Amino acid sequence: MRKTKKKQNNDCIKLRGSIAWALRNAQTGDLVDSGQGENVVLLVGRRYILNKLGADSVANLIDRIYLGTNNAAETNTHTAVQDSFASQTFNAGSSNSSSAATPYIVFAASWNSDETHASSSAINEFGLYASTGTCVGRKTTSATIDFGSTNTLSVSYTLSN
C-alpha cells in the first residue's frame, strides 16, 4: 500500500497591530512629538474578535482608544491598559480595506488641549478596546509623551492580517 503525504493547510488569520500618534501645539498645529510602533494584540482581544466572527449580532464592536501612564512592557497575557486615565470613542473603523494585499482596519481618535489628565500629563501606554470593556491591544511608548494643556493628540491604531 502506498502512503500519501498529508497536504498542509497554510490558511490562517493572523492579527497584527500598529499604532501611530502625533502630539501637536494646539495654537499653531505644529508637530511637537510623534511616534509609531508595533503593538501586542492580546489573547483576550484575539478571543473577542474570533467570537465576534460567529456572533449573531454586530453589537459590541471595537470602539475606543485608551491612554495610560504605565510603562511596563506589554505582553499578550495582559487584559487591560495598566493605568488608564482617558479614552475617546469613535465610530466603526475610520478606514479599512478588505481588498488590500494585507487587509487592515484603522481606528482613530483625538484629544483636545482641554482633555489632559487632571493629575498627570504623562502618557506611556495606549489600548484598543471593545465597548464590552475587552482590551484588544496594548502598546507602551519608549519615552513618556508629555501631553500638556497647550497640545492636542491624535492616535491611529491599525489591525491587519
2, part of any domain: no
Q: Which of 38, 100, 98 is nearest to 74 (CA)?
A: 38
85, part of any domain: yes
Instruction: Enter the pTM of the model.
Output: 0.76
C-alpha gyration radius of the chain: 18
12, part of any domain: no
55-107 residue pLDDT tens: 555 555 788 899 999 989 888 888 888 888 888 887 555 565 656 666 777 88
Domain that holds residue 100: 17-160
Beta partners for 122? 146
7, part of any domain: no
Q: Which of 110, 103, 160 is nearest to 137 (CA)?
A: 160
CA angle, corner 91, sides to 88 and 96, nearest 5? 115
